[in-house]
Amino acid sequence: MVTIIGAGLSGMAVAYRLHRQDIPVTLLEANTVTGGRIQPASPDSNTQQDLGPSWVWPYAQPVVESWLNELALKTYPQFDKGDALIDRHPQQAAAPQFLPGQHGMVRINGGTNAIINRLSRSLKDIIQLNKTVTACYRSNDRFFLNITDTGVTTQFEADHLIIATPPRVAIPLLQTSGDVEKPSLQEELKDVLPILQQTPTWMAPQAKVVMFYKTAFWREQGLSGRVASQVGPMVEIHDHCGPDGFPAALFGFVGVPAEHRADKESLLASIEQQLVRCFGHDAPAPTQIVIKDWAFETLITTDADLTGPANHPSVISELARKGWCNNKLWFTASETSSVSPGLIEGALARADQVANQVSECL
């Protein structure tokens, strides 16, 4: 039995690969939903709007292209026609200006959550939600996990273990056995745990805002919907509509530090003021504003992510990609990938690699 901790993209992708090889798999997820950092902006799981990553570049990301073809998912170009708006002063209207787009940047029809939906269909019988792993040890070449579900703790056994959580999130459960007489995995993993601790979780300090509208009025005005701001609170804004312009939406990244974002009402008021400043008093108000602050998601973000620099993950030591505990334990989060760490490409590439490693050991 292979047990995977974490039903984000990498965990689900490696589960999918192993399941299709008829290898018994159990996928444990502490949250009430799958997807990890890939989440839709509305309860409709088929929405085009994302609260996490939105873009892929298939022309430069062969792993993404291969998976999209396999899952029969289509893409469409990021809308970028027309002038952008440059937002330089809190008391002045934003000024239109041409900004070059990013070549080959596309979105997935159905949002990035479409990948999660497709994987979920094949994994519905092996995903277990609300299963929080709190401790782990190994005895007689088997893993023993303490799992909490609605306040009740049970023990789970596994022959092979795949950790698909962000690296820093994995450390506490690997350092705790739940039993003073049982050694945790800390000693066996002493060479890799410091590497995991030094690896930032991509998107962890970020907050993303999705703004829904009745129509894409900016397109009607010859604007791209793109905003580059020096005053915020959103430092950049982009068109976030569906492939046919509906649902009409924009999204933005918040540049205000996490410690100043706890007051959601104040942040929302600042966002509304910025939209008026950028698009004018006559522009329609959003029908809905959804804010997702990843800094306060404890299953994603650690204190180290909030206090350290918000750098894009670099390729980390090869130790994070080897099999541990006699080739019975692997780390598969996107940040551990040697290809595009932190990105969707990295998550899928690492999942492919781990699936191959595990199947060779069985």
Cα–Cα distances in angstroms (integers) from residue 91 to residues 94, 235, 256, 274, in the given order: 9, 16, 18, 10
DSSP assignments along 315-362, one per residue: P--GGGGS-BTTTTEEE--GGG-SSSTTSHHHHHHHHHHHHHHHHHH-
Mean pLDDT (whole number) for 7-14: 98
Task: Give the 3-state secondary structure of 95-155.
Answer: EEECCCCCCCCEEECCCCHHHHHHHHHHHCCCEECCCEEEEEEEECCEEEEEEEECCEEEE
Can you say whether the dihedral through the CA atoms of 87, 92, 94, 96 is positive or negative? negative
Separation between Cα atoms, residue 68 and residue 40, nearest integer Å: 18
Confidence of residue 247 (pLDDT cuts 50, 70, 90): very high
Q: Which amino acid is at 1?
A: M
Phi (first) and psi of residue 20, to 5 degrees: -70, -15
Q: What percent of the chain has a predicted confidence (pLDDT) above 90? A: 89
pLDDT of residue 2: 97
Query: Is the pLDDT score of 130 beyond 60?
Result: yes
Give residue-wise pLDDT tens across range 251-278: 999 999 998 898 999 999 999 999 999 9
Confidence of residue 181 (pLDDT cuts 50, 70, 90): confident
Phi (first) and psi of residue 34, to 5 degrees: -90, 175
Mean pLDDT (whole number) for 28-51: 90
Query: Is the pLDDT score of 45 beyond 60?
Result: no
Confidence of residue 46 (pLDDT cuts 50, 70, 90): low
Which segment of 41-45, 119-123, 323-327 scores lowest on mean pLDDT? 41-45
Give residue-wise pLDDT tens across range 206-230: 999 999 999 999 999 999 999 999 9
Mean pLDDT (whole number) for 296-310: 89
pLDDT of residue 199: 95
pTM of the model: 0.96
| Cis check: omega of the bond before 247, within 30 degrees of 0 | yes
Separation between Cα atoms, residue 201 and residue 168, nearest integer Å: 7
3-state helix, strand, coil in the chain (%, to 5): 30, 25, 45
pLDDT of residue 237: 98
DSSP assignments along 309-326, one per residue: --PPPPP--GGGGS-BTT
Residue ranges and CATH numbers for the domains of the chain are: 2-38+117-202+312-361 (3.50.50.60), 77-109+203-295 (3.90.660.10)
Which segment of 69-78, 98-107, 349-358 scores lowest on mean pLDDT? 98-107
Q: Which amino acid is at 207?
A: A
